Homo-oligomer: A and B are copies of this chain.
Amino acid sequence: MARIAIIGLGYIGGSIGLGLRAAKLRDTEIVGFDDWRSARRAAGKQDAVDEIAGSPREAVDGAGLVILATPPASTSELLEEIAPALGRGAAVTDTAASKVKIEEWAGNHLPNGVSFIGGHPMAGDASAFGIDNASGDLFRGKRWFLSPSPNASDSAVKSVLGMVRELGASPHFLSSAEHDYVLAGVSHLPLVVSSALFTMLRGSEGWPDFGRAAGETFRSMTAYNSGDPSMTTEIAITNREQVQHWIDRFVLELNRVRNLLDEEEEEVFKEYSTAQINHAKFLGGDDLDPDTGAQPELPDATSQMAALLISPRLYERVRSMTKRSEEKEKEREARGRRWGRG
C-alpha cells in the first residue's frame, strides 16, 4: 500500500486531495492533517482524503510522497517537525509561491535520503479560501512549477511529476532561483503594485472624491487587494530581495515614462501603440519564441494581427508613424555615412 500525506487541508491542499482521490490511484491511501479542527472535519465530510491523521508526524509516517500545503512561513517549523518520521526515499513537495527560501529550509531540516522538490501550482484564485471552495479540477490545464533540489533523486522527482500529471496540470521545471526571479516580476510585483495603488489613493486627502470617481480601471487595477493578505505578506517576506529588485526596476520604468510625457505627442503615441501591438502578440501567444527580438513589427493590414488593432483609423496612424520613423532612420543612416560614421 502506497501512502500520500497532505499537510494543510485548505483551498490548495483540499483540492489536491479531491483531485487525487478522483484519480482512483491503485493501492494508495491518502492521509491528511490540518492544524484546524474545522478544516479536518470538512476534509473528512468531503472525502478529500481517505484518513485524517492525529498529527503531521503521524500523517507522514510511512508516506512515499508528502505534500505541504500550509502557509509558507510555517514551512520551516513543519519540516523540522516531520523530519524524524520521514522514511528513506520519501519525496517532499510544497505549494508556496516562492521557492528559494523553502528549498533552503528543506536543506536544513530534511535527513539524507529524503528528496525535496519545490512545487508551485498557478491555480490560486487570490480571493478563494478554504476547503469549502476546493475542487479536484482546480489544477486542470494550469501550470505547475517544479524546482527539484540539487540532490533530489530521480524517483522522487518522478513521484511528484506523477502527482502533477494526475491532477491534470502541466509541469514546468525551473530552478528555485529562476522561479523566484521570474515570478517576482510577473506575479509578486503586480500584487504589490495593485496594493500600493489602492493604499496611496485611499490614504490621500480627499479620498472620498477619488473613491467616488473610481471607474472600471481603478477597480480592476486594485482588485488584488481582496486577496488573502497573509499570502501577499508571505510572498513579500519569503521572496523579499527579488520583489525589491523589481520594485526598483519599476520605479526606473515609471520615471522613464514620466520623462517621456515631456516629449512630442508622436513619441508618446509610439510608446502606447508599441505596447498595444506587443500586448496583442502576447495574448496571441506568438511572441514567446526565444528568437523574437524586442522590436515589434507592424503587421500587414490584412493579417489577423491588424484586426487586433481594431480601428482602421488607428492602423493608418501606426503605419504613418512607422513610416516616419523609418524615414528618419534612413536619414540618420545617410547622414552617418556622409560623415564617415555608420
A contact set with B: CB distance below 8 Å: 36, 38, 73, 122, 125-127, 129-130, 143, 145, 172, 178, 182-183, 185-187, 189-204, 206-218, 220-230, 232-233, 236-237, 240, 243-244, 247-251, 253-255, 257-258, 261-262, 265, 268-269, 271-276, 278-280, 282-283, 287-290, 292, 294, 308, 310-314, 317-318
Contacts and interface: CB of A to CB of B under 8 A. Distances in A.
A267 to B, nearest CB: 9
Contacts of A233: 265, 268-269, 271-272
Contacts of A269: 229-230, 233
Nearest to A127: B310
Q: Nearest 6 CB-CB pairs, A to B?
A: A229-B272, A225-B279, A229-B273, A190-B221, A200-B253, A233-B269
B258 A248 contact: yes
Nearest to A252: B200
B290 A122 contact: no
B257 A254 contact: no
A217 B247 contact: no
A207 B294 contact: yes
A228 B36 contact: no
Copies of this chain, whole number: 2
A190 B55 CA distance: 47
B247 A257 contact: yes
A95 B158 CA distance: 60
Contacts of A311: 129-130, 228
A208 B227 CA distance: 27
B312 A38 contact: yes
Given A208-B288, A222-B279, 15 more contacts: A36-B313, A129-B311, A143-B213, A185-B210, A186-B218, A187-B217, A190-B197, A195-B257, A196-B257, A197-B250, A198-B278, A214-B282, A226-B283, A229-B318, A254-B254
A224 B217 contact: yes
A122 B222 CA distance: 18
A279 B253 CA distance: 27
Contacts of A258: 244, 247-248
25 contacts: A126-B216, A129-B311, A143-B213, A172-B213, A178-B209, A185-B204, A187-B218, A190-B221, A192-B257, A193-B197, A198-B275, A199-B278, A207-B294, A211-B288, A221-B221, A229-B314, A230-B272, A230-B317, A233-B269, A236-B268, A243-B261, A244-B261, A247-B254, A248-B258, A251-B254
A282 B191 CA distance: 18
A200 B278 CA distance: 12
Contacts of A190: 197, 217-218, 221-222
Contacts of A289: 208
B215 A250 contact: no
